[in-house]
Amino acid sequence: MKFEMYHSCITVLDLEKSLAFYKEALGLEVMRTIDAEDGSFKIVFLGNEGCGCQLELTWYADRAEPYNLGDNEIHIGFRTADIDAALAKHKEMGCVCFENPAMGIYFIEDPDGYWMEVVPVR
């Protein structure tokens, strides 16, 4: 039996703010959307051309307070062919939350506090 990773989901407090962040920071575009008939939730799948794995953003209408991310030890990794330009862009955006120059990687933080790892294509 073979499996292929399809998506990873995070819950967000402000969907429009998150959509803008992921578009600017990582170039992710809306691939498809699911709206609850009663307006209680919205699911948006983000991705980019050539990548089979998507990021699912789930928003709940009745959520008013930020999500508790615990120790926030979970992250999602992204690769880039130009790590220096990416780091410069993310520093300009003010979203770099941790750098590890020895490993050649860094992390950015989204509007809800989730960390995304950025690594060079190796």
Task: Say which CATH number the domain at 84 has.
Answer: 3.10.180.10
- 23-64 residue pLDDT tens: 999 999 999 999 999 999 999 999 998 888 999 999 999 999
Is position 101 within any domain?
A: yes
Q: Tokens 């508790």: give the residue.
A: 68
Answer positive or negative: Cα dihedral of 95, 80, 58, 33. positive
- d(CA 44, CA 42) in angstroms, rounded, equals 7
Task: Determine, yes or no, domain membership for 80.
Answer: yes
| Measured CA distances, 99 to 8, 47, 81 (Å) | 23, 25, 17
Based on the structure, what is the number of domains in the chain? 1
Domain span including residue 102: 7-63+72-120
Is the pLDDT at 72 greater than 80? The verdict is: no
Does residue 1 fall inside a structural domain? no
> Is 112 inside any structural domain?
yes
Tell me the pTM: 0.92
What mean pLDDT value characterizes the chain?
94
Q: What is the pLDDT of residues 57-66, one digit of tens each?
A: 999 999 999 9
Structural domain includes residue 59 = yes
2 inside domain: no
Q: Look at residue 46 and tell me if it is in a domain.
A: yes
